Amino acid sequence: MKHEPVSQQPQLGESFPDLTVQTSHGELSLPDEYENEWFVLFSHPGDFTPVCTTEFVAFQQRYDEFSDLGVNLIGLSVDRVHSHIKWIEWIEEELDEQIEFPIIADDTASVARRLGMIHPKMGTSTVRTVYVVDPNGDIRLQLQYPMEVGRNIDEILRSIRALQTTDEENVAAPANWPNNDNFGDRVLLAPPSDMNTAKQRKSDAESDEYEYRDWWFCLKDRE
């Protein structure tokens, strides 16, 4: 499965670029290593830094939840693989967490630059970037956090669950789904794309399949 480069920084809906990377688990080819699987690639400014350490522990503590969703984790920073190995050892010894996912050693920053993870005002440190890539190798979510703020793992997991649900059921997820204050875990039908469909939706307003608020705003229970 080949993916041609599309831009300096891949955008939502584009293919994740083909990359060969060195990691704490050996050489990997992305996205082929996770063909037909989801993966989350997240960068951190540097090993042996406090916020990054808390993030890696947090990702590891939710490792089983990612696995249950069929999602692979892979980290990245502009450090050498020896630094990653020593940092992993420190985390296990001092914080009693064994990091199970690979970390890309990008000491030349070539991968980080290809993925738009280097901010011009931050030297060579990678900003806290998250890419969520689907089984087709397409980028479905991008997040960036400042260096001084750690990521919210709950939000990353929530977003993946929402993406998987909307894909499977051909619906949309409302704000804060599945805990929307007004609609709970119900989902939204996609707005009609033509007049006939809009009229049909109105005529079906009494259907038990969904709750009609207007032709463009209809709710349904999850399948």
The Cα 62–Cα 50 span in angstroms is 19
Q: How many CB atoms lie within 10 A of CB 14?
A: 16
Of 52, 111, 162, 189, the active-site residue reads 52
- Please, are residues 220 and 210 in contact by the beta-carbon 8 Å criterion? yes
Distance, in Å, from the CA atom of 48 to the CA atom of 157, rounded to the nearest integer, reads 25
Cis peptide, bond prior to residue 174, ω within 30 of zero: no
CA distance 45 to 210: 46
Element (H, E) at 185: none
Residues written for the chain: 223
Active site residue 52: yes
Which residues form the catalytic set?
52
